[in-house]
Amino acid sequence: MANEGDDSGISPESSSSRYMVVRPERGGIRDLFRFLLTGNRASAAKFFESSDEDVVAEGSLGGGRRGTPDHCARYLIIRPENGGIRDLFRFLLFADRASASKFLQGSDDGVVSEALWGGRRGAMPDHRWVIFVSIIFRKIISLFAKPMEWIGYLFEFLLNLLSDNGSLLGLLYNLLRVRVIMPERGSETFISAIGHLDGRIDLYETRAASAGRTLQYELGDRDLMDLCMMASKLAYENEKVVENIVDHHWQACFSLCLCILWISTVVGMVRNELEIYLHSLKAAGNYQKEKSTQVFIVCDKVEDANLVLISFRGTEPFDADDWSTDFDYSWFEMPKLGKVHMGFLEALGLGSRIDTSTFHNLLQEKEVDNKTGEKTPITEMVEMSAYFTVRSKLKSLLNEQKAAKFIVTGHSLGGALAILFVTVLVLHEERELMERLLGVYTYGQPRIGNRQLGRFMEAYLDHPLPKYFRLVYCNDLVPRLPYDNRTFLYKHFGACLYYNSLYSEQKVNEEPNRNYFGIWYLIPEHLNAVWELLRSFMMGYMYGVEYKEGWLAVLLRVVGLAVPGISAHSPINYVNSIRLGRDKTIRMSTL
């Protein structure tokens, strides 16, 4: 029999069936208008009874969007900190809605449903595994965040203590003489762990450079690729190290006047964005920085420059937030742009998941100038934003250097920020800047968005010649993150230059084993890691003393025996790939 008061006459007996029952007698006029005007969930629950929440979302709240207007952005935020292990397994095995609500926050029910069932109920889809693994990794990273920071601090101190005193023997000798040289963090001699991993600082000398001729940078040029990679590696260093290397090493190498134009650490995500809205007139110095983005800019001449280069810092080895961002699957979607990785938007200072409206507001904020002079929450966030700060500096530099073109680069997270920076320039219709873009080179870059984003950008970066080059070394884990599957659809775009462990270069649409964890690649990955470890002892004999790998690089190769994707991500592999690549020239016609 139908339930009492069921005007539809339909009996929902089977758990596999889907149904919706409208019950007009349960709510009042106030509830009815709240449901109509705002799509209020509590009011809707009084009038509708259904087999699952998706039916209510689709049938009563606007196709799964809870009454949100069609033009509004959609988003999914994954919050690993909100639930426990029991909730996580209930989410994984049974797609339990209550457990999922602890980890997943969506703009509408449809978004959460996709994360649970791929839009429909059924067998466990692979994307629940993806979210499960992501949450587990991020929980582990969060658990060890402070120990990682302390270990990194101590580790870099010890590395610099050894290098400043010559070696372990030199340190012991200086101890006996009571003349130990103590490292000073932030000085021009204090090198990061990345810098110690690969001590090369000079640029690649081609025949043209060694002959003293002026170098003309062109897309696909090996020297340009090397310059971008070395700049990406240099971005990990402090300001004084960057200035010292550019002024005293890069100038001599190319007989060019490479010079630092600007270097800064700018704010990415701000912890207390809600404080900005509640106390919008507070001084910017009172805001706590949760993430920062270091970037520096160089040019090839002090005056009449031809090239301006912007380099973003990548994932720091001992920064838990950086690694957590790489494993984060949260996204923000705009109708024109597509889905964009939320963590990368935050790193550029383009919003915060604490208040998702900030993403929409800042992505639509094309102009920085505030004509009224009044301080507003948005103008304050703009002033603090990494994206707007770099864009403003770039505009002023290009106004001074009328003939110059600019190139953007970065390794790892820095590569994601590099292409995202250009993406937002396109979104903001910065046509004059885009006309002077020479190219984008990224190294070991994670995916930043879905296929729609790729199509949006390909129209600007692929014609008449490709301007976006994405270099991937062998089994590098990071370019295979975030996961690419039917639900998340994180996709790479641009021209991919793939290098295997023999440094053979190949132009491909997508790197092999695009999601890394494929079972068929497990044994080959570990066998290749063994080869790379053995090769590290022979590099100096095979290619010369500059390619000899130190004890720290060898130690990382040992770690790679357990996790091949980590050791493959090292900048040393990308420098070697460019300089030793089998195909010494990249033919633009083939791209």
pLDDT on residue 447:
94
Domain boundary (47, 67, 87) is at 67
CA distance 299 to 558: 38
Residue 523 maps to a domain: no
Residue 198 C-beta-side C-alpha neighbours within 13 Å = 23
Query: Has 70 been annotated as catalytic?
Result: no
* Cα angle 76, 81, 85; round to 5: 105
Q: Give the mean pLDDT of 172-178.
A: 91
pLDDT on residue 12:
39
pLDDT digits (tens, 9 = 90+) for 470-490: 999 999 999 998 877 665 578
pLDDT on residue 13:
40
Give the model's confidence band at 590: pLDDT under 50 very low, under 70 low, under 90 confident, else very high.
very low
Q: 412, 536, 567, 577: which is the annotated catalytic residue?
A: 412
CA distance 434 to 286: 35
Residue 399 maps to a domain: yes
Tell whether the model's pLDDT for residue 331 goes beyond 70.
yes
pLDDT on residue 57:
53
Q: Give the mean pLDDT of 208-220.
A: 52
Tokens standing for residue 261: 């134009």
What is residue 501's DSSP assignment? T
Residue 270 maps to a domain: yes
pLDDT on residue 231:
94
Q: 221, 300, 476, 484: which is the annotated catalytic residue?
A: 476
Range of the domain at 61: 1-67
Structural domain count, the chain: 2
Give the model's confidence band at 125: pLDDT under 50 very low, under 70 low, under 90 confident, else very high.
low
Tokens standing for residue 205: 């000398």
- Name the nearest CA neighbour of 363 among 332, 394, 392, 390: 332
pLDDT on residue 221:
80
Q: Which residue has the tokens 């300001």?
A: 239
Q: Give the mean pLDDT of 456-470.
A: 89
Tell whether the model's pLDDT for residue 63 goes beyond 60.
no
Tell whether the model's pLDDT for residue 239 goes beyond 90.
no
Instruction: Specify the CATH number for the domain of residue 460.
Output: 3.40.50.1820
Domain boundary (24, 41, 67) is at 67
Tell whether the model's pLDDT for residue 284 goes beyond 80.
no
CA distance 218 to 214: 13
In three state form, how does the secondary structure of 265-323 look? EEECCECCHHHHHHCCCCCHHHCCECCEEEEEEEECCCCCCCEEEEEECCCCCCCHHHH
CA distance 275 to 267: 16
pLDDT on residue 227:
92
User: Of 326-335, 441-450, 547-556, 578-587, which gets the smallest average pLDDT?
Assistant: 578-587
Q: Give the mean pLDDT of 319-336.
A: 86
Work out the angle between the directed axes of helices 413-427 and 451-461 (0-180°, nearest 10): 70
Average pLDDT taken over every residue of the chain? 79
Residue 448 maps to a domain: yes
CA distance 25 to 121: 30
pLDDT on residue 97:
81
Q: Considering the entire predicted model, what is its pTM?
A: 0.81
Residue 411 maps to a domain: yes
Residue 397 maps to a domain: yes
Query: Has 569 been annotated as catalytic?
Result: yes
pLDDT on residue 299:
84
CA distance 146 to 319: 9
Tell whether the model's pLDDT for residue 8 goes beyond 50.
no
Residue 530 maps to a domain: no
Q: 232, 569, 570, 577: which is the annotated catalytic residue?
A: 569
Domain boundary (472, 493, 516) is at 516
H or E stretch covering 298: strand 292-299
pLDDT digits (tens, 9 = 90+) for 557-578: 999 999 998 999 999 999 999 9
Q: What are the strands of the beta sheet with 405-411, ordered from one edge?
A: 259-267, 292-299, 307-312, 405-411, 437-443, 468-473, 495-499, 505-508
Q: Between 487 and 89, whose confidence is greater?
A: 89
Tell whether the model's pLDDT for residue 281 goes beyond 50.
no
pLDDT on residue 558:
96
Give the model's confidence band at 121: pLDDT under 50 very low, under 70 low, under 90 confident, else very high.
very low
pLDDT on residue 126:
60
Residue 549 maps to a domain: no
Q: Are the C-beta atoms of residues 150 and 117 closer than 8 Å to each other?
A: no
Q: Are the C-beta atoms of residues 450 and 338 closer than 8 Å to each other?
A: yes
Give the model's confidence band at 525: pLDDT under 50 very low, under 70 low, under 90 confident, else very high.
very high
Query: Has 87 been annotated as catalytic?
Result: no
